């Protein structure tokens, strides 16, 4: 049974609100299709191909298929004054030595572990005198974790704004430079967060928008993606959790993904329950309602706004880039060839984005 046929069956599930009887000829294929279909509306159609088979000794094969190491994807947690818990990581010098703080916000599905490799390489590319004063804070979206830190609670855009605002208030000094960097939905979230920050902090802030999903979200989705987003009675969330756990790590290890992405995904699939998937679909529904035009931040200096976009992006189209340049006239726009929306999954694409981010970080600290 093809993946396309599986998606057609999924659509019929949502339209009729019941589960039809389906003959499953291949459990691994169904598991992978279930996971991909759940996240289809958040990731572009990245051309990731399986690695070519190379004969290796049995000992080497074991090393390739080794499960992810917890130390590579382990994240700290932050609890807001409202009791909302989220994961984060911090890269850079001790707080006493930092002069610039970068707040990174991921796109939906909100898993910040996927971006750790890209952000680490971007920081490493900066000259030592610049790198020594930059701290990068990678914030996961609350509810988007495999540890059920918030039990079964689901969060939407307003909750994310309040959470990130609290984190900045507790961790970032207004006397130091602030850079807000967001990918996809994270770009929209970053602009919305800036609207509620102190004016002094916003006026001197720099903003990096990576393939920003900030315009007409409802027009970007296909019919299948809309069906998945509906998630009637939580069927998609429960099914994705069940099938995701059956995906063998050996299958993930054979994909041409970055090390961090492979390890993060393997850890996710082996631990995630339906609460995470419920948050993914709940946020997507709220994005459809909230994301219409690029948010306007009056205090923001347009010359400190940088936009990265790529050809063929379903979520950040030419019309989106045009709307941003009209809103922030004078902003810097860069088009990156050979890169897709889900760049964090591919090492080479991630390297290209890291190189661009490094140059932007250097400019932001001048």
- Give per-residue pLDDT as tens, 334-356: 999 999 999 988 889 999 999 99
Contact in structure between 284 and 158 (CB atoms under 8 Å): no
pLDDT above 70 (res 297): yes
Residues making up the chain, counted from first to last: 366
Q: How confident is the model at residue 229 (pLDDT cuts 50, 70, 90)?
A: confident
**Predicted pLDDT of residue 234:** 77
How much is the pTM?
0.80
Residue 182 DSSP one-character state = E
H-only helix segments in 172-273: 185-194, 199-203, 217-220, 223-230, 235-244, 249-253, 259-271
Other C-beta atoms closer than 10 Å to the C-beta of 61 total: 13
When the pLDDT of each residue in the chain is averaged and rounded to a whole number, the result is 80
- HEC per residue, 67-136: CCCHHHHCCEEEECCCCCEEEEEEECCCHHHCCEEEEEECCCCCCHHHHHHHHHHHHHHCCHHHHCCEEE
Torsion of CA 239, 229, 39, 12, to 10 degrees: 60
Q: Where are the domains of the chain?
A: 1-46+60-366
Parallel, antiparallel or unpaired: strands 85-91 and 134-139 = antiparallel
78-131 tens-digit pLDDT: 999 999 999 999 999 998 888 999 999 999 988 898 899 999 999 999 999 999
pLDDT of res. 147? 84
As a whole number of angstroms, the distance between CA 92 and CA 115 comes to 15
Question: Who has greater pLDDT, 36 or 235?
Answer: 235
pLDDT at position 56 is 39
- Please give the pLDDT value at position 255: 67
- Mean of the pLDDT values across residues 210-224? 89
- Band (pLDDT 50/70/90 cuts) for residue 142 is very high
Residue of 217, 214, 216 lying closest to 327 (CA atoms): 214
More confident residue, 40 or 285: 285
The burial class, CB within 10 Å (0-12 / 13-18 / 19+), for 199 is exposed
pLDDT, tens digit, for every residue of 83-96? 999 999 999 999 88
Which CATH code fits 1-46+60-366? 3.40.50.1820
* pLDDT at 330 exceeding the cut of 90: yes
pLDDT of res. 50:
43
CA–CA gap between residue 203 and residue 194 (Å, rounded): 10
Instruction: Tell me which residue of 281, 155, 157 sits closest to 226, measured CA to CA.
Output: 281
Phi, psi of 334 (to 5 degrees): -130, 130
Q: How confident is the model at residue 12 (pLDDT cuts 50, 70, 90)?
A: very low
pLDDT of residue 21: 33
Q: Measured between alpha carbons, how far is 239 from 211 in angstroms, rounded to an integer? A: 30
With a cut of 80, say whether residue 240 has pLDDT above it.
no
């Amino acid at each position: 049974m093809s993946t396309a046929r599986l998606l057609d069956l999924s659509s019929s599930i949502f339209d009729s609100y019941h589960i039809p009887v389906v003959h499953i000829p291949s459990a691994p294929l169904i598991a992978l299709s279930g996971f991909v279909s759940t996240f289809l509306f958040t990731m572009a159609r990245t051309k990731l191909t399986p690695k070519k088979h190379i004969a290796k000794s049995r000992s080497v094969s074991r090393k390739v298929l080794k499960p992810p190491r917890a130390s590579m994807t382990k994240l700290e947690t932050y609890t807001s004054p409202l009791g909302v818990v989220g994961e984060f990581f911090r890269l850079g010098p001790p707080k006493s030595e930092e002069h610039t703080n970068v707040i990174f916000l991921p796109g939906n599905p909100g898993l910040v572990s996927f971006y750790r490799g890209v952000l680490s390489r971007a920081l490493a590319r900066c000259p030592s005198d610049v790198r020594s004063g930059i701290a990068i804070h990678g914030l996961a979206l609350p509810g988007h974790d495999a540890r059920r830190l918030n039990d079964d609670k689901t969060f939407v855009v307003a909750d994310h704004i309040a959470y990130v605002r609290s984190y900045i208030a507790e961790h970032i000094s207004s006397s130091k430079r602030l850079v807000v960097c967001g990918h996809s939905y994270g770009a929209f979230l970053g602009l919305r967060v800036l609207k509620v920050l102190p004016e002094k902090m916003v006026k001197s802030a720099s903003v990096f928008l990576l393939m920003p999903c900030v315009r007409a979200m409802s027009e970007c989705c296909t019919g299948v993606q809309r069906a998945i987003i509906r998630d009637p009675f939580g069927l998609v969330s429960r099914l994705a959790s069940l099938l995701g756990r059956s995906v063998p790590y050996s299958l993930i290890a054979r994909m041409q993904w970055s090390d961090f992405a492979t390890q993060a995904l393997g850890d996710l699939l082996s631990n995630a329950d339906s609460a995470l998937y419920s948050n993914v679909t709940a946020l997507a529904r709220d994005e459809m309602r909230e994301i219409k035009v690029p948010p306007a931040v009056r205090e923001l200096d347009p010359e400190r706004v940088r936009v990265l976009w790529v050809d063929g992006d379903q979520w950040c189209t030419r019309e989106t880039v045009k709307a941003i340049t009209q809103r922030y006239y004078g902003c810097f726009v860069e088009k990156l060839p050979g890169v897709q929306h889900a760049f964090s999954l591919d090492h080479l694409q991630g390297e290209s984005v890291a190189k661009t981010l490094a140059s932007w970080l250097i400019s932001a600290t001048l």
